[in-house]
Chain A
Amino acid sequence: MNQLGGFPLLTLIVAVPVLGAAIVLFLRPARGDTLRWLAVLVASADFFISLFLYMGWVPDLSGTVQFQDGPWPWIPSLGIQHHLAIDGVNVHLVGLTTLLAPLVLLAAWPHSTSTGRATAFWVLILEASTLGALTTRDLACFALFWLTALVSAFLLAGLTGYPSGAAAHYIAAMAIAAVLMLACLVYLSGVRPGLDIPNLSTNPLPWQTQAWLFWAMTLAMGITSALCPFHLWYIDTQRHASPPARVLISVMLLNIGCCGLIRFCLPAFPLAVTRFAPALVLLSTIGLAYAAVRALGQRTFPSALAYWNVAQMNLALIGIFSLQNLGLHGATFLIVGRALSTAILLLVGPTQDEQQRVPSHGANPHGNAGRLVLLLGFLSALAIPGSVEFIAQSTLVLGMMRWRWQPDNPGAPSAVWDWLWYALFAFGLLVSAWTLLRSYSHSLPSTSRPGTRRQALLTVPLLLVTLLAGVRPSVFSDMIGPTVHRLLGEIMSGLETDLRQKAPPASSPEEMPSPPSDQPDTTQWLPAHGHPPMASASITVLGPEYVISCPARTWIAPLLLGVCPS
C-alpha cells in the first residue's frame, strides 16, 4: 500500500474544493471575475494534486488499495469511520471528476454571469462530495457524501430555473433513494460492528436479509445512476438545466451510483448478488432496448443524449452483474468513456433552445473547431476503434458472452429465451448507435453560438484522455484488473463463508446436508465437485476465470424472488 509517508493525500483531495467553496462563499459578491478565477484555480489545483494518484501508483497484482487515509474513528458509538481509499476502479473516476470540474467552471462562464458565485460554490461542493463518495470505504460516509451530492446537484441545476414538474421528479426520486439507503444504513449499523467494506464483506448476513438489503441499495443506486425505469428525473434535469449542470449531473451523479454498486453492493451481499444477477442483467437489457428506442424518438439533442446515457448506464449494469473479469473491465471502461463522450457532446453540442430556434438543416454551421470537436465526440461515443468506448463495448460483450446462460442443454425450451436475450441486447446496442448518428446529422447544422471555439478548446483534454485510453488501454486495464479480480474473489469467499457456516462441523462434502428450502442452494456454487449441476444457478471455476452459469429457465425465479424474497 502506498501511504505517501502518512500524508493524507485523499483527504486533501476531498478538502481542497470544500476550502475553495468556503472562500467563494465569504468573498464579496461584487468581485465576480475574481470569484470565478478563484474557483477555477482551486479546481485546477485539485486536479494536479489528484495526478499524484497516478504518479504514485505502484503496479500491484494483489488488488489491494493503493492509497489510504484512516481508518480514523469519527462517530465511534455508531461505528462510523473516516476511511478513504483508492483502488484500481475508483482512481479513474476520481481523475475524471477532478479533470472535469475546472473545465466545467470555465465552460460555465457565459452561462453564469448573474449566478457566478452560486455556480462556483455548488460546483465545488458537488466536486468535493463526489470525490468523497467515490473514495470512502465507509457506508455511512458514502451515504453522507452521496446525499450532499444530490442536494448540491439539485441546487446547481435549479440556478437557471426549474419547471415545477422537473423539480418534483427530482425530489421524489431522490427522496425514495435516500429512504432506501437510510433503511439499509440503520439496519446494518445494528447488526455490524462497523460499516466499512471489510466489515460488510466478512461474515455474510442471512440470505433473506441480504436479499432485502441488496434490493434496497441497488434501487437507491439505480435511481442515482438513472437506470431505466428510474430515469425520469435525469431526463427532466437534462432538458431544463444549463449545460454545465448537465455535464456535472451526467458525469458525477451517475458515476457515484455505479461506484456504489461496485464497491458496496457486490462485496456486502454476495449471496444476493449471485442469485439476482441474472434477473438484473435481464432487466438491464430490457432497459437498454427501451431507452435506446425512446432516444430515437427525441427531437432535441439534450433529450436524445440523456436517453442515450440511460441506455449506456443499463449497459454498464449488465457488465457489472455479469460478475466476469471482462465484463467488469468493460463496465469500468464504459463508465469512464460514457462520461467523457457525454461531457464533450454537452459542452460543444447544441443546447435545447438553439435547436428549437434553428431548423435542422439550416446552413449556419458551427465554426470549424466546434464541428471538428463535435465530430470527434460523436465518433468516440459511437465506439470508433481507438476510442475508450470501443474497448468498453468489446470487452463488455465478450464478458457477457462468457456468462453462459445456457451451458450444455441443447434443445431445451429455454434456448428460445437465450436467443431472444441476445437479440434484445444487440438491438439495444444498434439503436443506441442509430440515435447518435441521427443526433449528429441533426445537430451539426445548428447555430453558431458565441464561445464555441473556446468550448471546443476546453474539450481537448477530454479528447486526449479518450484517445489515450483507446490506443493504450492496457495502461488502465493493468490498474483495473487486480481490483476487479479481488472483488470477484471477495464475492466467492463470501459464498464459501456462508457455506461453511451452514455445514455441520464433522460432515464430509459427500454427506453435506441440503440447505433449508427457503434459501438458495449454495452447495452447488462451489467449484470442487466436478461438473456443476445444470438445473440451478452455479458458479464454477474455469481456470482462473469465474464463470457463473445460469440456465435461462431459472430467470423467472430470481425475478419473482426479487419481488418477494421470502
Chain B
Amino acid sequence: MFGYFEWLLLAFPLSGACINAFLGRRLTRRAQLWVAMGALSSSLFILIPLLASQVLRPGIVGRPQAIPWFRVWSGERFLQGPLALRIDALSVFAASATVAGGLVLVTYAARHLPSTTPRHIVLAALDAVLTALLLVVLADNPMCLLLGWALSGWCMHGLARTLQASFPPSAQADGSLQTASPPIALIAPRMISMTSDLSLLFALGFLATVSPSWSVDTAPALARFTAPGVSAPRELWAAALLLLLASLIRVGQRSACARFLGGESSAADALVYALSSGFPGVYLIVRGSPLVTLTFLGRLSGLLSRSSGSALPWWWFGLGSGIIVLGYGLARRLFSSLNAARRPAWATRVARRWDPVRSSRRYLAQPLVHAGEVLARSVGVDWVQRTRKALSSLLHGAAPADDEPLHLTLCFLLLGTVLVLAYLLLR
C-alpha cells in the first residue's frame, strides 16, 4: 500500500481537476479555489519531506510501485512499459518548482480572471496541466515521459481554448483573434505541439536502438560511449538533436500561443506559456543532459578546451551566468507582459521597483560571455569549483564528472527561477 504513496503527488492535482470539472458548477467561487489550491498544497506537503531527504542524503530513495500499463511478450519475458515514478533529486526538485509555480498561477487565475470566465473550468484545466507536468518530471521510463509530455501539450491546448473562449475581446491586445481565421488559430499551436511530441517519440526510438536501458536516466546506459576513443554512434546524435528539437519547440511555442490567444501580451498567453511550455522544455534538456553532453556539448567542450586551454571552467561558468541573466531578463519580460494586461498588486510593486523593459534591454544588450567571465574572475575559480561540487553532490550524491557542465548551468537556472518565485510569494 505504501508503495503507491508517491502516486499521491499526481493523484491530488488530478482529483482537484476532476472535482472542479465535474462538480465545480455547484461549488462557490471560494470553494472552487480551495479545491484547486488544496490539491496542489497537498502535493507540496508530500514533496517537502522528499525534498528534505534529498538535501540530507541525495540519491534515489526507493522506487514507488509501478502501475502496469503496457507490455509486450517477447518469447522469454515481458518487455514492460509501466507507469513508474522516479524519486531522485532532480525530479523532486523540479516537481517542487512545478507545484510552487502552479500555486502562484492558480492564485493569479483566481484573482484576475474576468468574471465571465467559467472559473471552475480554468482551475480544473490548470490542475490537469500541473498533473501532466508532474508526470513529465517524475517519469521513470521513456514511455511514461512521452505520455506526460503529450498529455501536457493537450492539457495546455485545452487550457488555452478555455481562456480564449472566456477572455473578452478588449482584453486581447491587438484584437487579432477577430481577424485571424479560427481554424488556423486552432490548428497551428496543436501542430507545433504534435511536432514536439513526435520529435520526442523519435528521439526515444533512436535511443532505444542504441541503449537497452529503459530509464529516463540515460547516464548509465551511455557510459560505454564515454570511454576514450569511442565516438557516439549516429543514432545518439539523432536522438540528441531530436530531444533538443522537442524541448525547443515546446519552449518556442510562445508566438503560436500568442496568435492563438489573440494578442502578444495578453495575460492568458503569458500564463499558459510560463506554465506549460517553458518549464517542461527546460526540464527535458536537463534530464537528457547526459545524451546532449555526450554528443553536442562533448564537441563544444573539445572546441572550447582547444581554444582556451585550462580556462574551460571559466567558459562554462560564463555561459551559465549568461543563461541565468538571460533567463532572468526573459522572466522579467514575462511578468511585465502579465502586468500589462491585468496587473495584480504584488506585480505592481515589483514593476515599480524594477523597470522590466529597461532591465531586459540592458541585460540582453550586454555580451553574455563577458559578463560571466567578469563574474567568475571576481569570485575566483576555486569558489566556482566548490559550488559545482556541492551542487553536483546534492543532485547526484557523487563528485562531478568533467562532462556535466550543463547540469550545473541549468540547475543554476532552475534555482534562480525558484528563488524569484519564492521571493515573489514571500512578498
Contacts and interface: CB of A to CB of B under 8 A. Distances in A.
Interface string A369-407: 000000000010010111000110111011011101010
A393 B198 CA distance: 10
A545 interface: yes
Contacts of B143: 394
Interface in B203-231: 204-206, 208-209, 212
Interface string A477-495: 1100110110001000000
Given A398-B204, A402-B209, A441-B186, A474 B191 contact: no
B129 interface: no
Contacts of B69: 472-474
B230 to A, nearest CB: 13
Contact of A430 (B71, B151, B191, B205): B191
Interface stretch (B74-82, B331-339, B382-390): B74-82
B423 interface: no
B391 interface: no
Contacts of A386: 151
Interface string A436-454: 0110111000000000000
Contact of B68 (A406, A408, A474): A474
A422 interface: yes
B267 interface: no
Contacts of B73: 61, 325, 477-478, 481-482, 484-485
A482 B74 CA distance: 8
Interface in A295-329: 325-326, 329
B291 to A, nearest CB: 15
Contacts of B212: 543
Contact of B70 (A434, A437, A473, A482): A473
A542 to B, nearest CB: 9
Nearest to B73: A481
Contacts of A408: 233
B232 to A, nearest CB: 10
B374 interface: no
A433 B154 CA distance: 13
A48 to B, nearest CB: 29
B182 A404 contact: no
Contacts of B76: 543-544
Interface in B164-216: 182-183, 186-187, 190-191, 194-195, 198, 201-202, 204-206, 208-209, 212
B70 A438 contact: no
Contacts of B345: none
Contacts of A482: 73
Given A410-B233, A437-B191, A391 B70 contact: yes
A262 B263 CA distance: 52
B198 A485 contact: no
Nearest to A88: B73
Contact of B191 (A379, A410, A433): A433
B interface: dominant SS = helix
Contacts of A422: 202
Given A385-B150, A441-B182, A489 B75 contact: yes
B71 A474 contact: yes
A361 interface: yes
B194 A390 contact: no
Nearest to A406: B234
Contacts of B75: 485, 489, 544
A418 B168 CA distance: 50
Contacts of A394: 143, 146, 201
A544 B187 CA distance: 42
Given A326-B72, A441-B183, A474-B71, A402 B202 contact: no
B208 A398 contact: yes
A429 interface: yes
B391 to A, nearest CB: 34
A379, A401, A477 pick with most chain B CB within 10 angstroms: A401
B369 interface: no
A477 B198 contact: no
Contacts of A78: none
Contacts of B150: 384-385, 390
B70 A430 contact: no
B191 A434 contact: yes
B147 interface: yes
Q: How large is the interface on B (under 10, 10 to 19, 20 to 34, 35 or more residues)?
A: 35 or more
Contacts of B78: 481
Given A410-B234, A438-B183, A473-B70, A429 B191 contact: no
A478 B78 CA distance: 9
A26 to B, nearest CB: 48
A401 B206 contact: yes
B84 to A, nearest CB: 14
Nearest to A403: B209
Contact of A434 (B187, B206, B234): B187
A325 B182 contact: no
Nearest to A361: B182
A398 B198 CA distance: 11
A426 interface: yes
Contacts of A401: 202, 205-206, 208-209
Interface in A527-541: none
Nearest to A542: B212
Most chain-B CB neighbours within 10 Å: which of A410, A474, A545? A474
A441 B146 contact: no
A433 B205 contact: no
Interface in B78-100: 78-79
A228 B116 CA distance: 50
Nearest to B146: A394
Contacts of B71: 474, 477-478, 481
Nearest to B190: A437
A415 interface: yes
Given A433-B194, A441-B186, A329 B72 contact: yes
Interface in B142-160: 143, 146-147, 150-151, 154
A385 B202 contact: no
Contact of A545 (B74, B182, B190, B206): B74
A61 B73 CA distance: 8
Contact of A385 (B147, B204, B208): B147
A61 B195 CA distance: 37
Contacts of A437: 186-187, 190-191
B69 to A, nearest CB: 6
B61 to A, nearest CB: 27
A441 B187 contact: yes
Given A401-B205, A422-B202, A485 B74 contact: yes
A398 B72 CA distance: 12
Contact of A397 (B70, B79, B202): B202
A544 B74 contact: yes
A1 B425 CA distance: 65
Contacts of A472: 69
A430 B187 contact: no
Nearest to B205: A401
A214 to B, nearest CB: 25
A484 B191 CA distance: 33
Among B77, B151, B183, which residue has the most Cβ atoms of chain A within 10 A? B183
Interface in A100-147: none
Name which of A361, A398, A408, A438 has the most chain B CB atoms within 10 A of its CB: A398
Task: Select the residue from A61, A415, A442 with max chain B CB neighbours within 10 A.
Answer: A61
Contacts of B206: 401
15 contacts: A379-B154, A385-B147, A385-B151, A386-B151, A398-B204, A401-B205, A401-B208, A404-B209, A437-B190, A441-B182, A441-B183, A441-B187, A477-B70, A485-B74, A545-B74
Which 9 pairs of residues, A with B, have the shortest CB-CB distance? A401-B205, A481-B73, A441-B183, A544-B74, A544-B76, A385-B151, A437-B187, A544-B75, A473-B70
Given A385-B147, A404-B209, 16 more contacts: A325-B79, A326-B72, A386-B151, A397-B202, A398-B205, A401-B202, A401-B205, A401-B208, A402-B209, A426-B198, A438-B183, A441-B182, A477-B71, A478-B73, A543-B74, A544-B74
